[in-house]
Amino acid sequence: MKRSSKLITMLAAFALLISGFFGVAASASPEPAAPPSAVAKVGEQTAQASLDKSRAGVQGTISYRHQWCGIQGFYNLNLTGLGAYNGQAVAVTISESGDGGSEFIGSAVMTVHNVSVWNGNVTVKVNVQWGSPLCVWTHYVAI
């Protein structure tokens, strides 16, 4: 039973990784040019959260979902306590957040740019292109 559960978890993680890759590749578009001062200000935005361990995966793989609100433009999202080790493969996807915690694909263009694992924590750079701040979900899968 344990082996079967681990296999299913790993297959799900792989599917999420592949679907996120193709979803980003299919929707990637050139970013609009901005004055250097605007780019510097955008790069300074950071959100911070800690892991709710009751919602994390088990058996060496990690699967976790986190909601972030007030996200618009480029953000560095710092999630502490994920438990991923330096050099571990971590895939991150992003989607819009709807009522009651649902997820959907709307008109906002959202992309994941960089993922960095450091001392059990994960920092991901995202870009949410919409006219006002949104709530979004990020999914973290470490294998």
What is the per-residue pLDDT across 75-108, written as a single tens digit (0 to 9) for each? 999 999 988 888 899 999 999 999 888 999 999 9
Q: Considering its fold, how many domains does the chain have in total?
A: 1
| Boundaries of domain holding 110 | 2-27+40-142
Give domain status of residue 106, yes or no.
yes
Give domain status of residue 33, yes or no.
no
Give domain status of residue 32, yes or no.
no
Query: By the 8 A CB rule, do 126 and 73 touch?
Result: no
- What residues pair up with 120 in beta bridges, in sequence order? 84
* Structural element, H or E, at residue 7: helix 2-27
Give domain status of residue 87, yes or no.
yes
Give domain status of residue 34, yes or no.
no
Question: What does the DSSP 8-state code read for residue 98?
Answer: -
Q: How many CB atoms lie within 10 A of CB 141?
A: 25
Radius of gyration of the chain (CA): 16
Give domain status of residue 44, yes or no.
yes
Structure tokens at 46: 């950071």
Does pTM surpass 0.85? no
Q: Is the dihedral of CA 26, 32, 36, 37 positive or negative?
A: negative
Q: What is the mean pLDDT of the chain?
A: 74
Q: Which residue has the higher pLDDT, 139 or 20?
A: 139
Query: By the 8 A CB rule, do 83 and 120 touch?
Result: yes
Alpha-carbon gap, residue 71 to 45, rounded angstroms:
9
Structure confidence at residue 11 (pLDDT): 52
Count of alpha carbons within 13 angstroms of residue 46, beta-carbon side: 8
